Structure 1
């Protein structure tokens, strides 16, 4: 190959990479991988029973690409009854052939392909012998002895059943991966990345070599402190020994699984995506060891956005709710290590099957974006043959984002919104000021609530381990007050340096201060690192107190003396503060605070990165992504910490406008921000003079141009399009409504209709009253509204608030015809379909369950309100 050709290929390959890979070379064969479009959302794609074929794969991938997806993540899973003869054995030659076809077709269509390193979850399956299976400790004849947990792989593909591997054993992990070396590695088509699901290895708390590893790492024999290890009364010695025990588990998980799996993937030419949460280890370190850290958004976040619905049957006590502080473990690791992509399993069990709307998904996505996530993965789409009757093949856990979903025709709108957001977030770099030390040794002093007596740091129930800790409470306060921060671990403190610009990470990100929450136990080495950084000029704040005790049992008295001595030394450093009022200290140090966050606005602040010029942003741009997930802010004058000319970019409408500015009473520049609950936007602050406006203009900006116009004429409603068409031909409705109403109340059969109904009315505009623009507020929409005005499309309202802007000259004096096509959920038709066709529930393993994990039964559901509920208002506005 000519040198110029090789250089061109290397350049193309480098541009497609999601991030640095620990300096290891990647084989040239990965040029054949389908990279996909990472700005677009990707999706989990469950291959049920691996009953897949080339023609159906092509058909479905073409649908995905047309809808605006950027890639798929294949997870082989349990099968469908009646299709046993079509099951393709996992990793067989035939399976590798259809997988290769998927990658080739993905490359043709611009779709990336990721692959789970196994089937179901966690890692395991056939060939996992007792020797390499997950272990727990038992006291046998007075000795700590490793015994198998007997945990089996959950939701495996047919023929892939077997034991879960020992995640604490490098030998076990490497032996497990040999199966892929003899199969997948020989395929000419490769996945972009391999994947590990959230750590769900229950009861595993030991490995065969644990005692040897413990002694080598902790400096003493655990058997010598067996009484303290078995003690459950939280004595001082017991606490210290259990800190050492958890520290060892954490290191073994990192050294035994995360790093070997990552190294194996790099040698094969793959990237890694890892859901570290749930692990009995330091999540920051575990996320840092992967190319694409991945968090999880499970359930509904209970945002107080007016009109946002949550599923009343979702059991918060059982399943928990998403929390941005948990999500930040993944994004913090990425920010510290310079990993450009941070992903999320998104929308798992957001509501029951057939009951999820796009308006429920968007706020969850926005919460992820402001938490530093920029690579959304929908959860997800089951592979389903096109010839299969509705609802097709279904995965047990909603939400179905696929072609059989009621919102599939409108999913491109959500995909486009996410693509616009992620394109900007991926091309910019973090602009956070505060590093918050995560004192995991204090957490390890508390009683563990997970199986096996270990602390599993999961994302579902942060109220059990994260929020009660001083660390969690402090981070909540930092977020509420508008400080931009990331987490840092004991290990990653070693990678920090100090420059004139501040505290620098190996990724080049710069922070201004390290905050240590109220901490009791800390390794002496960690305090030594902090002192070293302070000597170089790093500003450090201890919240309320200096740590007084060393973590761990070995040589504890001497180590504690070192901790206390270092504390006294640190106290004398001019850049170190032991603060009784942390936020007052942050203010004195000039740490940026976005005060408007206290009004319920969530944000992420970033700086220009490679590619921003192509996005229309100048080289010195500060970028805010702001979302209103609350109900306290609507519009008002706000002061940004960044100064300059402020432009607003609306990813929903793809429109940009300059924000008006004024001088505040304190002399600072204020800009006028309008952001209703449920809305989001980017604010781009670049060098230049703000657009200052005079007092008269300020009044015009902050007040409506005129009174709302009441839509007094009756509405005509008729069913125009069922979805799916099969079985709904008998559902007819045509009526005139004096006022808007839920269509399920209009007739008995209307309560079973799923599809689109058309609402039409006339709007009279008095002569001379046509404004430059109008705001059309549709009120309560169930669920998506396609709007036409005088026969011409006006737009689609699919998220809260359901509003559209009517540009100048679109409304005329006199009568205007307004038509609104509203599409509802498929839940109402499922109430009937489940009674008439119960055989659609034909899946192995868990089959289909509802949101409470009980057998699915839609026949008992009440009809879900559907249609245009209003009220609909039309308000003249000034062009802003």
Structure 2
């Protein structure tokens, strides 16, 4: 891959807080990390060296930067090839994978276990996940009896106790005597999202509770059991959750992270789902990882959403949940923030690349810069189509219908991530996350605990004043990160503003309306305010969280609040947006038109350049003059085409410079504001821009010839189409065809036209269009809007021949294949299910529209 700013292998070491980085391996940002990586499920670990090498070579050729191995349940009929996890044979094939990965430039990560969560052989009563129950008026310990979910051979067993440091240390000993002794090591080890169902206790919980909270929990058992939200019950539950959160942080996140560092691995952690403060848990990982599960229901014209996806059951992705991972990374100077991407985006065999891109763009705008596809099952070369299939993923592998065009998406992501990974956050607002107010609400998860998961943010994040304020900040166009009680302690103040341990600088700390507020946190805010930090409170809190000495501590809260509001850098406000405006906090007003963005500062050769990634995930904005908070010469980079252009500028009514931005729904771009002199547009240029710089469209009046090319089943049908329509209407057999069809037509140019370029709008494409004009390649349209620019030099006055090869989904063929060959569904555990988790059955599907549906528009660009 070529980049305008990168030649060969780019190695950028992100200098953050040295004390944080000393304890872990150096995290290098390279062209390898800029490429997307993928989950790689080893089904039954029935793998061999030849197939591993073959698949890694395919991955490298397609533009993948790395794999994340997850040993998982097996395939029926291959039992004699199963390799027990961490056996000598398993270690040998893993070592071969790492060696081949190094040869091919493909990185390797590994789950610290099989399936999820951690657990397996050797986990017995002392180290297994626990739940409390009441016996004879006292709290006692019981087992959850949860088994590892979807385990691989050699990974079966009880789930480990995540709240116990001793249990985690015992669990990790298995890797000390096996994996850690290999000279070939994974780049990073991984922990999946917290899914320890009902676990809410550990053997020494009562002792830890007394030490940390100052009283015996058994003495307040009635309040713990009370679910009616009495004042005393709320305080007891806050203390209970605070203790669980600290035990999870100390017992698991710190213990596992330190173990990984000592062994020479980076750590990737999905903290979401945890009954703890996500910011502090993400902060312990080398690479915090969020998740994009399902589709976000963007109102982009033409974007399909799977009607069978159950929103009420699974929820939808939300950028505010993603920002917990990116905020922790921004505060601590961690260069990579990853995401499990595209989980259940649509049903099997029905996902298009055009559906993937908006989800990726949403992640980028939320601060994510290290995409992991979810994912690719290992599948032997000799296995018939569709090969081995994982139950819950979009298949990005060689048997996928979009595999031939996956390099297009991979290249787009690499170009974006190359820029996002080599820039630093430029967010002005640091929003305090008042978790004690959340703990004051009634818990809805199993075990009576608050599990902060990414699926249903409407249940825990959005109803809180914190969530509501962050939604408003987004709509107004403020750029912000979150901060926890613990991370506040690590902030300092400089002349430039509030400085985080990782070097990020913020202009204001914003405190949402909070009922319960730790007095220790107020003291930290007072410390920062006296050093000059600007702090805005949306009202002052009136009481402390927690039961012990509650009245005394609440009096301290009131006293500290009264002292704080006397300081000149502290504002107590009922209208925080008015207060932010008075403080001169930067805002990007165009975000209110439905544009999502992240603002960053470029490093290296482009130091001093403000960089915006902007994506149009709505249907309100098309083009307009916009005012950027950053000033200077503005250029636009298109990661789809790898082209850069300088944007024209005019002076707005407010006296500030405005740039003209065209960005259709579904499109994205980078804007760079540097120190150069802006290029001002004269009146004629402004008018041309505002009229969309387009001439009259050229009619394509001639019929279209369609020919079915390569695909399943093998068909050679041809037809003449007076107007464009789905090829499924050509014949019964064509309704089952999955593959590529060629559409051909001819046209003449109107006399007297001499434009510099033409814009080809293809309308509704199902699903990817490879376009040629007069035998010359024009480009591949794979995402919304399906548009390509055609240089005028490719056209002739008469007899232009337009050929468009369109590739559809594999869903239509699966309707036939599932009836003729049902034996492909041969997997253990859950086997293969549909998006509603019912047994997979494609035989009842309706044929999905396929081909070039149009309308097609060819427009002169003046």
Q: The TM-score by the shorter chain falls in which range?
A: over 0.9
Say if 2:765 is the partner of 1:787.
no
Q: Any idea what the Cα deviations from partners look like across 1:496-516, whole Å, max 9, x if unmatched?
A: 111100000011110000000
Choose the corresponding residue for 2:87, options 80, 83, 92.
Answer: 92
Deviation at 1:811, TM superposition (A): 1.5
The equivalent of 1:142 in structure 2 is 137
In the alignment, is the contact (CA less than 8 A) between 1:273 and 1:291 conserved in 2?
yes
Choose the corresponding residue for 2:456, options 445, 458, 461.
Answer: 461
Say if 2:114 is the partner of 1:119.
yes
Choose the corresponding residue for 2:751, options 748, 752, 767.
Answer: 767
Deviation at 1:17, TM superposition (A): 11
Say if 2:34 is the partner of 1:45.
no
Once the two structures are overlaid, the 10-residue window that deviates more, 158-167 or 276-285, is 158-167
Structure 1: how far apart are the matches of 2:118 and 2:188? Answer: 16
Structure 2: how far apart are the matches of 1:693 and 1:277? Answer: 48
Change (3 A) 1:400 1:200: same
What does 1:509-658 align with in structure 2 at a 5 Å threshold?
A: 509-543=504-538, 545-609=539-603, 611=604, 613=605, 618-658=606-646
Greater than 3 Å deviation, 4+ residue runs: 11-21, 23-27, 33-36
Structure 2: how far apart are the matches of 1:20 and 1:324? Answer: 30
The equivalent of 1:220 in structure 2 is 215
Deviation at 1:833, TM superposition (A): 0.1
Deviation at 1:809, TM superposition (A): 1.4
Structure 1: how far apart are the matches of 2:204 and 2:344? Answer: 39
In the alignment, is the contact (CA less than 8 A) between 1:744 and 1:865 conserved in 2?
yes
Structure 2: how far apart are the matches of 1:866 and 1:732? Answer: 16
Change (3 A) 1:813 1:707: same
What does 1:42-81 align with in structure 2 at a 5 Å threshold?
A: 42-81=37-76
Partner SS, residue 765 of structure 1: coil
Structure 2: how far apart are the matches of 1:141 and 1:237? Answer: 23
The equivalent of 2:761 in structure 1 is 777
Choose the corresponding residue for 2:803, options 819, 841, 866.
Answer: 819
Q: Any idea what the Cα deviations from partners look like across 1:502-538, whole Å, max 9, x if unmatched?
A: 0000111100000000100011001111111111111
In the alignment, is the contact (CA less than 8 A) between 2:370 and 2:417 conserved in 1?
yes
Q: Any idea what the Cα deviations from partners look like across 1:401-456, whole Å, max 9, x if unmatched?
A: 00000000000000000000000000000000000000000000100000000000
Say if 2:720 is the partner of 1:736.
yes
Structure 1: how far apart are the matches of 2:225 and 2:246? Answer: 21
Structure 2: how far apart are the matches of 1:339 and 1:69? Answer: 22
Deviation at 1:689, TM superposition (A): 1.3
Say if 2:659 is the partner of 1:671.
yes
Structure 2: how far apart are the matches of 1:627 and 1:14? Answer: 26
Structure 2: how far apart are the matches of 1:13 and 1:212? Answer: 48
- TM-score by structure 2 length? 0.97
The equivalent of 2:684 in structure 1 is 696
**Alignment size in residue pairs:** 853
Structure 2: how far apart are the matches of 1:773 and 1:361? Answer: 29
Choose the corresponding residue for 1:323, options 318, 322, 330.
Answer: 318
The equivalent of 2:788 in structure 1 is 804
Say if 2:498 is the partner of 1:498.
no
Partner SS, residue 47 of structure 2: coil
Deviation at 1:89, TM superposition (A): 1.0
Structure 2: how far apart are the matches of 1:603 and 1:854? Answer: 38
The equivalent of 1:838 in structure 2 is 822
The equivalent of 1:714 in structure 2 is 703
The equivalent of 2:278 in structure 1 is 283
Change (3 A) 1:140 1:183: same
Structure 1: how far apart are the matches of 2:424 and 2:163? Answer: 34
The equivalent of 2:4 in structure 1 is none
Choose the corresponding residue for 1:757, options 729, 741, 744.
Answer: 741
The equivalent of 1:854 in structure 2 is 838
Structure 2: how far apart are the matches of 1:457 and 1:562? Answer: 29
What does 1:175-194 align with in structure 2 at a 5 Å threshold?
A: 175-194=170-189
The equivalent of 1:22 in structure 2 is 20
Q: Give the superposed CA RMSD.
A: 1.6
Partner SS, residue 96 of structure 1: helix
Choose the corresponding residue for 1:489, options 484, 487, 500.
Answer: 484
Structure 2: how far apart are the matches of 1:763 and 1:567? Answer: 75
Structure 1: how far apart are the matches of 2:545 and 2:709? Answer: 69
In the alignment, is the contact (CA less than 8 A) between 2:12 and 2:29 conserved in 1?
no
Deviation at 1:770, TM superposition (A): 3.3
Structure 2: how far apart are the matches of 1:661 and 1:515? Answer: 33
Deviation at 1:141, TM superposition (A): 1.3
Provide structure 1 residue ranges, at least 5 long, that are not aligned to the other structure.
1-10
Structure 1: how far apart are the matches of 2:24 and 2:210? Answer: 36
Partner SS, residue 809 of structure 1: helix
Q: Any idea what the Cα deviations from partners look like across 1:680-700, whole Å, max 9, x if unmatched?
A: 000000002111011011111
Structure 2: how far apart are the matches of 1:875 and 1:220? Answer: 75
In the alignment, is the contact (CA less than 8 A) between 2:15 and 2:333 conserved in 1?
no
Q: Any idea what the Cα deviations from partners look like across 1:578-608, whole Å, max 9, x if unmatched?
A: 1111111111100000000000000000002
Structure 2: how far apart are the matches of 1:435 and 1:183? Answer: 43
The equivalent of 1:168 in structure 2 is 163
Say if 2:117 is the partner of 1:133.
no
Deviation at 1:12, TM superposition (A): 11
Q: Any idea what the Cα deviations from partners look like across 1:721-757, whole Å, max 9, x if unmatched?
A: 11xx5xx12x332100010001111211111000000
Choose the corresponding residue for 1:746, options 719, 730, 742.
Answer: 730
Once the two structures are overlaid, the 10-residue window that deviates more, 791-800 or 16-25, is 16-25
Deviation at 1:813, TM superposition (A): 1.1
Partner SS, residue 529 of structure 1: helix
Structure 2: how far apart are the matches of 1:289 and 1:706? Answer: 56
In the alignment, is the contact (CA less than 8 A) between 2:426 and 2:600 conserved in 1?
yes
In the alignment, is the contact (CA less than 8 A) between 1:770 and 1:813 conserved in 2?
no
Deviation at 1:702, TM superposition (A): 2.0
Structure 2: how far apart are the matches of 1:35 and 1:85? Answer: 40
Q: Any idea what the Cα deviations from partners look like across 1:324-348, whole Å, max 9, x if unmatched?
A: 0000000000000100000000000
Structure 2: how far apart are the matches of 1:706 and 1:264? Answer: 64
Choose the corresponding residue for 1:829, options 805, 809, 813.
Answer: 813
In the alignment, is the contact (CA less than 8 A) between 2:29 and 2:335 conserved in 1?
no
Structure 1: how far apart are the matches of 2:130 and 2:787? Answer: 56
In the alignment, is the contact (CA less than 8 A) between 1:628 and 1:675 conserved in 2?
yes
Deviation at 1:398, TM superposition (A): 2.2
In the alignment, is the contact (CA less than 8 A) between 1:18 and 1:291 conserved in 2?
no
Structure 2: how far apart are the matches of 1:809 and 1:483? Answer: 44
The equivalent of 1:8 in structure 2 is none
In the alignment, is the contact (CA less than 8 A) between 1:19 and 1:339 conserved in 2?
no
Say if 2:669 is the partner of 1:681.
yes
In the alignment, is the contact (CA less than 8 A) between 1:19 and 1:291 conserved in 2?
no
Structure 2: how far apart are the matches of 1:161 and 1:18? Answer: 40
- TM-score by structure 1 length? 0.95
In the alignment, is the contact (CA less than 8 A) between 2:145 and 2:158 conserved in 1?
yes
In the alignment, is the contact (CA less than 8 A) between 2:24 and 2:266 conserved in 1?
no
Structure 1: how far apart are the matches of 2:17 and 2:303? Answer: 37
Q: Any idea what the Cα deviations from partners look like across 1:598-621, whole Å, max 9, x if unmatched?
A: 000000000022x4x2xxxx3210
